A and B are shown apart, each in its own frame.
Chain A
């Protein structure tokens, strides 16, 4: 079966760095997405990885290891506005997105 696993909740301190992990099992693989979703709002696109390695976008970076079925989202210099859920989603061989349940990130001052 297809599955995306990510931690349910994480807590971090303002100004710190946090890494949110995601492991995936999909039928075929056409890339991995990360989305941010603030409470009561729509998911918004953060990053897409299809090749192994690290992609950096400002304070946010995303890493992919296809051989390990593993990705992580790295958030640096955390701000209170980063408190949100972070959704990991794998694109399978039929180009369907398989979504994880999301990681709720709580930022403390």
Chain B
């Protein structure tokens, strides 16, 4: 049973517009959430994270929102750029979990069209 779900396998957005990537989780013991970005032929790279004590975290064009009651988080990219085209993975860690043991979703492929 998947504990972290990314229900949209793909998303296409026009350059300059907002990209919203969604992620749902089932385990209420998760207390740390992350987004990773992956380009083809490269390993995933860390993008942004949020602790369960917060409901929003911003880093430049990237903002992650966490709704604990709905067990839902989203990544907003504003404005979207063609270089943002990649697969985005949502990941979670349970309370007391170790650094290297993350639970990943299946990913959403974002295409930003010029």
A binds B: no
